[in-house]
Amino acid sequence: MQRLATTESGFEAEFTTMLGQARETTETVDRAVTAIIADIRARGDAALLDYTARFDRMELTADRLRITSAEIDAAVAQVSPELLAALDTAANRIEAFHRAQMPRDLDYTDEQGMRLGMRWRALDAVGLYVPGGKAAYPSSVLMNAMPARVAGVERIAMTVPTPGGVLNPLVLAAARRAGVSEIYRVGGAQAVAALAYGTASIAPVDRIVGPGNAYVAEAKRQVFGHVGIDSIAGPSEVVVMADASADPRHVAIDLLAQAEHDEAAQSILITDSQALADAVAAAVQDELATLPRAAIARASWDAHGAIILVQTWDEAVDLVNRLAPEHLQILLPDAHAIFARIRHAGAAFLGPWCPEAVGDYVAGPNHVLPTGRTARFASGLSVFDFLKRTTWIEADEAALRAVGPASVALAAAEGLDAHGRSIAVRLGQN
């Protein structure tokens, strides 16, 4: 774990190095993924079945690729009423927040009499990739599926690997709650390729969303352009801004809540209090002694964690904007005033009673967020990822006479005579 202070002469160099630190996987998988995608496109279901047998130890036939309604029923029956109620609470809140995002169509007539508009329509089909095994997160099913459902997407196809034939009951329960019934027991780059290009058993989709390993991320990168994708997600990250009024144990646990995701996650505390910095560093070690995922969290904290001591909150705001973190917690009495000055963050959590973890599950805003400083130009998943805009124009003769001559002049300046002529002929000028 790094300890930095803005008063140190080497701070800028150390901070710049931290910004440039690559935490993504160094595994080179592009050639392997290219081969898998080509094979799926060439052999379809046969290739999909071969890769499922090879990577997931599952011998399937094409008619067993799709998980049946009876299997989903059986999985849901294994989930306790308490967990089903928790899923329902989360789903209701996620749905409500995303429904509030839905945009309105635009339709107005300007001063020249030209009628202009923009309409929103949902995508036809979306593919949802859900990791299997230890990385199965039912909350991500809700976060990816509910916005698509709210946006009005008619078809949501979900793929989830089932290594050794093991189905995660809570993942299927989350899918059921989100209204997803088209679910296939396949994963990896081969699942992404099947969703993008289609096979005899899996119809192609228009956009693919959801997290995955290095092979899934690379496959999404390679199919982008043929289909849309949400993002290429990197390791999770959090920045916590806290002063001497913060509880050191709360801060330590909030940092470790990100560190336990994986060894490449990053947790950073920015504070103006040396006493808090020291207390949090000690509290992290105390919590690691009892944390079930301590090995992962410790590796993350040791390799990528940082505590940065600042002199003023002006300095802190500047550092946060340069970090552009996925998650930002502001544990300060004037959290709203500080947040007003933050330009770049995937999601912000304001005040001591709002830990980032509540946003992972039940707050309502989406937890699929930009990582690796991409919050400088990207946003979290929303209904807008499942909608597209179409603009439209309607003009009568008077409107065309009002604006047409300017178009004719611009077309001539660009050397596009047919463009100008298509307007001029209607105005009796050609």
Annotated active-site residue in 260, 326, 356, 367: 326
* pTM score: 0.91
The set of long-range contacts for 358-363, using a CB threshold of 8 Å and a minimum separation of 24, is 359/327, 360/139, 361/90, 361/139, 362/86, 362/89, 362/90, 362/93, 363/93, 363/97
Q: For position 397, what pLDDT does the model report? A: 95
Amino acid found at 149: R
Would you list the domain boundaries of the chain? 2-24+234-363, 30-229, 396-427
Same fold, 2-24+234-363 and 30-229: yes
In the predicted model, is pLDDT for residue 26 greater than 60? no
Q: For position 429, what pLDDT does the model report? A: 86
Contacts of 171 (CB under 8 A, 6+ apart): 130, 136, 137, 138, 141, 160
pLDDT > 90 in the chain, percent = 88
Q: What's the pLDDT tens digit per position in 366-382? A: 999 999 999 999 999 99
Instruction: Write the CATH number of the domain with boundaries 2-24+234-363.
Output: 3.40.50.1980
Tokens of 171: 């993942």
Contacts of 178 (CB under 8 A, 6+ apart): 91, 141, 142, 145, 146, 149, 156
CA distance 68 to 46: 20
The DSSP code for 24 is S
CA-wise closest residue to 132 among 166, 160, 165: 160
Q: What's the pLDDT tens digit per position in 160-215? A: 998 888 888 999 999 999 999 999 999 999 999 999 999 999 999 999 999 888 89
Q: For position 164, what pLDDT does the model report? A: 86
Coil vs helix vs strand at 393? strand
| 344 counts as catalytic | no
Residue 228 CA, distance from chain mean position: 13
Annotated active-site residue in 327, 344, 356, 367: 327
| 394 counts as catalytic | no
The DSSP code for 66 is B
Tally of CB atoms within 10 A around 19: 12
CATH entry 3.40.50.1980 includes domain 30-229: yes
In the predicted model, is pLDDT for residue 288 greater than 60? yes
Q: For position 133, what pLDDT does the model report? A: 61
Q: What is the band of 134 on the pLDDT scale with cuts at 50, 70, 90?
A: low
Amino acid found at 147: P
- The answer to whether residues 158 and 145 touch, using CB atoms and an 8 Å cutoff, is yes
Q: For position 235, what pLDDT does the model report? A: 87
Contacts of 111 (CB under 8 A, 6+ apart): none
| Average pLDDT for 227-234 | 90
In the predicted model, is pLDDT for residue 111 greater than 60? yes
- The answer to whether residues 62 and 52 touch, using CB atoms and an 8 Å cutoff, is no
Sheet hosting strand 207-209, strand order edge to edge: 182-184, 155-159, 125-129, 207-209, 228-229
Q: For position 187, what pLDDT does the model report? A: 93
Supply the mean pLDDT for the chain.
94
Q: What's the pLDDT tens digit per position in 309-361? A: 999 999 999 999 999 999 999 999 999 999 999 999 999 999 999 999 999 99
